[in-house]
């Protein structure tokens, strides 16, 4: 008798892919077979998830003008038919959706076929795709203690990359009074441009003796990288600037404070590793979910949160000046962030999925 199959449905963005990959690892270790249902972007993904048997649904993006949105919505029909045929052929023990366009037709097809299905919501607000199918899911798993739009969600946490879990035991180095302060600036896939404008300007506003104590690692847009690098060089500030850091978890671990957007994966990795942060929620995120993510970590004591419109060079310069004068709050925040982390999120989600699969087998 072959091992039971779990079908994972995820869009191609990192926020959907990372948790799906972490769950795949946890379930594979328990003897499950895995297959991935995704879109064009997800089908191009590498990593461990890219090694799975992959099925691409004929879906269009539902972004852009009215015509593109209409065609995108219309593509859900052939997407559902393809997902229904796939489920009938593969006969999975359970289906897990992580949001994004592929989740909707796949979980709808699972409901029609009476295959147990779970949703995982990465953000503190139930996403639009997940809202559309939530009523047909057997279980909803949430990354935060409270998920707006899904009051009955089971709190499992947001599964993070193995690299982040491996750094959970790394020691937070408390900045020494009068010593250096290591600052990580990361904007994620959206909204990094504001950091390219505000952070160098804030650093420039500091007294020269304070600037000399900063060590900066900054992710910025490719088109801004040269200007940001030149700005720090002119100030004599030690800085490493790049559009992308493949070893971002290691960069988080090395930082003494991060300035970041509040995407679900960013918040989860900061908490898992245990690093304090200044979180600037992306104001155009759907349903303002980044503000809810940021507030959850801030309420736990692991971050400060500031609105995009209020994140000015003067505001950041004042915060950095205060921390350079008295870094003691950072140690407390690092400990609070660490306590907020859920390094076992993938295992907790795997427990839930395994129970659903057992229901199918019964």
Neighbours of 226 (CB within 10 A): 11
Tokens at 266, concatenated: 């960013």
What is each CA distance from 269 to 118, 163, 266, 275, 360, in whole angstroms?
23, 10, 5, 9, 33
What pLDDT, on the 0 to 100 scale, is given for residue 279? Answer: 98
Quick check: helix, strand or coil at residue 44? coil
pLDDT of residue 217: 98
Please tell me the distance from the alpha carbon of residue 312 to that of residue 335, in angstroms, as a whole number. Answer: 27
Q: Kindly give the confidence (pLDDT) of every residue in the chain, 362 residues in length, as a single tens digit, with 9 standing for 90 and above.
A: 589 999 999 986 767 888 999 999 999 999 999 999 988 665 566 677 878 999 998 776 766 667 666 566 666 788 889 999 999 999 999 999 998 888 999 999 999 999 999 999 999 999 988 999 999 999 999 999 999 999 999 999 999 989 999 999 999 999 998 999 999 999 865 567 899 999 999 999 999 999 999 999 999 999 999 999 999 999 999 999 999 998 999 999 999 999 999 999 999 999 999 999 999 999 988 899 999 999 999 999 999 999 999 999 999 999 999 999 999 999 999 999 999 999 999 999 999 999 999 987 65
Return the closest-CA partner of residue 22 out of 122, 132, 171, 100: 122
- Is the distance from CB of 214 to CB of 180 less than 8 angstroms? yes
pLDDT at 41: 66
Cα–Cα dist 64/295, whole Å: 30
pTM for this prediction: 0.92
Q: How many helices (H) and strands (E) does the chain have?
A: 16, 13
Cβ-based burial of 238 (10 A; exposed 0-12, middle 13-18, buried ≥19): middle
Q: What pLDDT is recorded for position 13?
A: 72
In 3D space, the residue among 155, 159, 188, 201 whose CA is nearest the CA of residue 277 turns out to be 188
Q: What does 109-152 look like in DSSP terms, one character per residue?
A: HHHHTT--EEEEE-SSB--HHHHHHGGG-SEEEESSS--BT-TT
Q: What pLDDT is stored for residue 44 in this prediction?
A: 63
User: What one-character DSSP code corresponds to residue 326?
Assistant: -
CA atoms within 13 A on the CB side of 153: 29
Taking the C-alpha atoms of residue 58 and residue 36, their distance in angstroms, rounded to an integer, is 14
pLDDT of residue 263: 93
């Amino acid at each position: 008798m072959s091992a039971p199959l779990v079908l994972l449905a995820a869009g191609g963005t990192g926020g959907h892919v990372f948790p799906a990959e972490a769950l795949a690892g946890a379930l594979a270790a328990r003897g499950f077979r895995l297959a991935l249902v995704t879109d064009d972007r997800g089908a191009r993904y590498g990593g461990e998830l890219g090694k799975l048997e992959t099925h691409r649904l004929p879906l269009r993006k539902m972004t852009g003008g009215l015509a593109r949105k209409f065609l995108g919505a219309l593509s859900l029909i052939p997407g559902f038919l393809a997902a229904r045929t796939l489920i009938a052929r593969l006969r999975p023990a359970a289906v897990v959706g992580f949001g994004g366009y592929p989740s909707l037709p796949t979980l709808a097809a699972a409901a029609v076929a009476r295959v147990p299905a779970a949703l995982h919501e990465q953000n503190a607000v139930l996403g639009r795709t997940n809202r559309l199918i939530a009523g047909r899911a057997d279980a909803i798993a949430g990354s935060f203690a409270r998920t707006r739009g899904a009051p009955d969600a089971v709190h499992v946490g947001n599964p993070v990359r193995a690299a982040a879990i491996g750094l959970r035991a790394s020691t937070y180095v408390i900045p020494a009074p009068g010593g250096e302060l290591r600052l990580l600036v990361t904007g994620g896939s959206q909204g990094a441009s504001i950091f390219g404008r505000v952070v160098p300007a804030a650093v420039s506003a500091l007294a020269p003796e304070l600037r000399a104590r900063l060590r900066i690692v900054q992710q910025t847009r490719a088109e801004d990288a040269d200007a940001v690098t030149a700005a720090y060089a002119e100030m004599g500030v030690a800085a490493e600037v790049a559009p992308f850091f493949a070893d971002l978890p290691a960069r988080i671990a090395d930082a003494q404070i991060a300035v970041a957007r509040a995407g679900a994966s960013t918040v989860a990795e900061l908490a898992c590793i245990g690093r304090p942060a200044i979180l600037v929620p992306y104001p155009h995120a759907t349903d303002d979910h980044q503000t809810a993510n940021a507030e959850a970590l801030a309420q736990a004591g692991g971050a400060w949160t500031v609105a995009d419109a209020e994140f000015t060079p003067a505001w950041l310069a004042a915060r950095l000046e205060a921390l350079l004068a008295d870094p003691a709050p950072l140690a407390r925040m690092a400990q609070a962030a660490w306590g907020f982390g859920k390094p076992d999120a993938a295992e907790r989600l795997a427990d839930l999925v395994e129970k659903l699969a057992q229901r199918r087998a019964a």
